[in-house]
Amino acid sequence: PEVPVPSAVLAAVREAVETALRLTHQPSDADLTILITDDNAVRRLNRDFMGKDAPTDVLSFPAGERDPESGKLYLGDIVISYPRAQEQASQGGHAVAHEMQLLSVHGLLHLLGYDHLTPGDKRRMWEQQAAILKEIGCPLTPP
């Protein structure tokens, strides 16, 4: 289920994603979907697609294919648990809008092939994530 999210938070997510697409040199007509939902839905997806029976903050499902009808590049789907984002923002002492920006950028980078499984890949992803967040004035940094 979708959960209610303040319009200011949605605007912050849109700004983060649009900036990330620009800074990573994606086609201007590239498309993606972001589903903002609850822990239970994210847990089910994490279990069914990642083999991990636990909630998480963000999941990415890359597509990287052109839509046969429109010809637009479809990057994939990002799923974010809003309650988890709220909890992480509270624990970190920062705004939920900033947490949602971090999660949306992180998810988008996964759609673009970034990962953090090896130290080199992690450094590359974290550097790109930090550059995007800095560009939008988000004070958060990757862990």
**What pLDDT was estimated at residue 142?**
72
What's the mean per-residue pLDDT of the chain?
95
Residue ranges of domains in the chain: 7-135
pLDDT digit string (tens) for 13-58? 999 999 999 999 999 889 999 999 999 999 999 999 999 999 999 9
Q: How many Å separate Cα 94 from the centre of its chain?
A: 18
HEC sequence for 38-51? CHHHHHHHHHHHHC
pLDDT at 143 (0 to 100): 67
For domain 7-135, give the fold: Collagenase (Catalytic Domain) (3.40.390)
pLDDT at residue number 70: 87
pTM above 0.75, yes or no: yes
